[in-house]
Structure 1
């Protein structure tokens, strides 16, 4: 995929949005159907629509809360190296998740009962909320676990990069401070990637994506940390979120805003902000004042 949309992605390439939305709709719908059948069998004395109103109201609130859970998990993912700090954050988020879920669910049920000429009574709030929270915390962490496993699966297929570490014994075979190669893992195999083959780098949360021959390899680092390890004769920062390998730069397209659009040899375009455009022009021997 060419164009700006090609570089606007995160740590890994997600499924197309219709597939993602369809999956979550199916997941919530199946859960509501199974729970609705169970509730109806458990309360045969009630009108059939009542148990279904319970489960449908719950499912609708889960769907409404899903984007917030996905965004929160993406911002603070639970990882093996820092799960002690992240789990308490998610426990706190699960309480908010449950409060909103229960409050919205009760409101929808009251509305459904009122339409049917009935009155819905949730009962003692704190007692019933404790019961609902025990269910909601399981649902919340099930969603988080599914997101985490999906990310691991995608990263395993896509591949990920690591900086070469200094050996325990002896001297490193090449400079660790400015590596000539990166260790890349994909589908359980490891191989070395030459730094000069990296076309551009993009910040993506706690990762930096290394773009090589049309594929992204996420490296767990920050832009500031990776900047000191890049060869300044080859790599240049062109945006707060991008570095470009000048060997792969084909054209600089000025924009009316003072920014620029960089066209690479493979047809990809990445942004260049006004702040870094001056440095880029100077590297190519053009006066910075010539706008």
Structure 2
């Protein structure tokens, strides 16, 4: 019998808050109920913003909450060679291309297009899709720019990727915290346009790293926030392209602040360390998040 595997995967670029506590504790609850295991992963590919100090704070908060996970902790920053190998495969199969436009050039391109009466498409987060100009560059010009150290990012050619897959994509989504009932969800990676899968100096992105890690770690159930629901479509496409196993998913409710917005590390919302310093107990945290 295959051991069910869950994971909690924060980015150590700030302090954990109540939303993280809910996600971590829910993953532990579900893993325990299933007789499975819980993994802890540090998604620290952003080496400028992710620090050992933040990671140490997260580990202290999670241990205080009573979280128990299987060792070792996987740190993405220690596995760039594995991601680079996956990226090389996508490059060889011509499913990605170097994208050279700066943010200013993207804005100018879109402004010009909209001035001529064309509404520019946007992704589910409201960000304008990447313009198609770089995808049409000849191979010789791409090589010339790369050789000249022009900054660029590797973007997934979503049209080519969907054509390669040659079928409609879906994923299995659990409908509530009991993980007893599922429904199929249509994956719409095309809604995101040509997403970044790696940068010149970092051979991966969130999407590429997370599908690689979930496969290598044998993750069977991905339990994470509703804010990542639409992004799952991109990850399903990458899983299909790379021949990776598909986990089951549950995108849980978000813990909101008093003003109704999602909690944020950058805004110091309801940090666990601050709550602990104010006298809160792990039991208090569980009650505050509805567990």
Q: Where on the TM-score scale, by shorter chain, does this alignment land: which range? A: under 0.3
More helix per residue: 1
- Could you say which structure has the greater relative contact order, defined with CA pairs below 8 angstroms and 6 or more residues apart? 2
Which protein is bigger by CA-based radius of gyration?
1
